[in-house]
């Protein structure tokens, strides 16, 4: 598939999920059905998580059970219980890279007061050997745990090129309450990170 087609597919998927901006209002209305109210509408946040960018590589994410992440496919909570395998082939093999996984929809997409929730960060991934085993673990992986009946959550994987080379990142608490209100944009700006790839899946807890 030509790269321009891949770029367009990625852009369409990210814009459709409200991850990158598309010039729409901050909120849009979608139906949320229930037995007591079969035709309601409710506001869902349409605020972008990251700025629009030019992808330079594909980001493949596969969980140990074989389920992969495919630009907005829906997975079960248990599918993502363990840390996934990450594969990418960077355009700049001399650079180092950072991988970030977040949930902007905490506790829900309607109410994002705790978003983004910081699930996983791996830094200083060498471009000439893009293996997480050769990188530095910044934030240990915590699997998705959306609240019951909070709707679909978007789980984002963001790959950044480190424009400052190998970087010493400030430590962050790994405690669950301290993982709330992470901001990918701010983290990237503070650490000289350039977004080069993204992928995401959807997940919900219907219990």
pLDDT greater at residue 26 or residue 161: 161
Q: At 6, is the pLDDT very low, low, confident or very high (cuts 50, 70, 90)?
A: low
Chain centroid, CA 46 distance in Å? 15
The pLDDT tens digits of the residues spanning 97-122 come to 999 999 999 898 888 889 899 999 99
Mean pLDDT of 45-64: 84
Is the pLDDT at 28 greater than 60? The verdict is no
Residue 43 counted as domain residue: no
Alpha helices in 87-143, H assignment, sequence order: none
Chain centroid, CA 102 distance in Å? 5
CB 97 within 8 A of CB 87: no
Residue 114 counted as domain residue: yes
Residue 125 counted as domain residue: yes
Alpha carbons 111 and 71: distance in angstroms, whole number:
23
Alpha carbons 93 and 107: distance in angstroms, whole number:
38
Mean pLDDT of 59-86: 96
Which range marks the domain in which residue 122 is found? 3-21+48-203
Domain at 114, CATH number:
3.90.280.10
Round to the nearest angstrom and report the end-to-end CA distance of the chain. Answer: 40
Q: At 19, is the pLDDT very low, low, confident or very high (cuts 50, 70, 90)?
A: confident
Tokens of 114: 């705790």
Residue 37 counted as domain residue: no
β-pair partners for 197: 159
The pLDDT tens digits of the residues spanning 156-194 come to 999 999 999 999 999 999 999 999 999 999 999 999 999
Alpha helices in 63-172, H assignment, sequence order: none
Position 47 scores a pLDDT of 63
CB atoms within 10 A of CB 39: 8
Residue 27 counted as domain residue: no
φ/ψ (deg, to 5) at 83? -55, 130
% of the chain surpassing 90 pLDDT: 65
Alpha carbons 119 and 23: distance in angstroms, whole number:
28
């Amino acid at each position: 598939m030509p790269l321009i087609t891949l770029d367009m597919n990625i852009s369409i998927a990210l814009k459709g999920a409200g991850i990158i901006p598309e010039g729409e209002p901050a909120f849009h209305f979608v139906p949320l059905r229930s037995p007591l109210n079969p035709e309601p509408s409710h506001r869902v946040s349409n605020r972008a998580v990251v700025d629009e960018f030019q992808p330079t590589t594909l980001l493949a994410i596969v969980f140990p059970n074989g389920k992969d992440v495919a630009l907005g496919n829906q997975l079960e909570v248990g599918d993502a219980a363990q840390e996934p395998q990450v594969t990418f082939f960077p355009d700049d093999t001399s650079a180092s890279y950072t991988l970030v996984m977040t949930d902007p929809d905490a506790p829900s997409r309607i109410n994002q007061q705790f978003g983004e929730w910081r699930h996983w960060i791996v830094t200083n991934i060498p471009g000439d050997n893009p293996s997480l085993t050769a990188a530095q673990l910044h934030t240990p992986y915590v699997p998705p745990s959306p609240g019951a009946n909070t709707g679909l959550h978007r789980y984002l994987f963001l790959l950044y090129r480190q424009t400052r080379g190998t970087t010493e990142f400030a430590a962050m608490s790994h405690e669950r309450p301290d993982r709330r209100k992470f901001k990918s944009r701010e983290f990237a700006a503070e650490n000289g990170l350039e977004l080069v790839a993204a992928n995401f899946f959807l997940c919900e807890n219907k219990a």
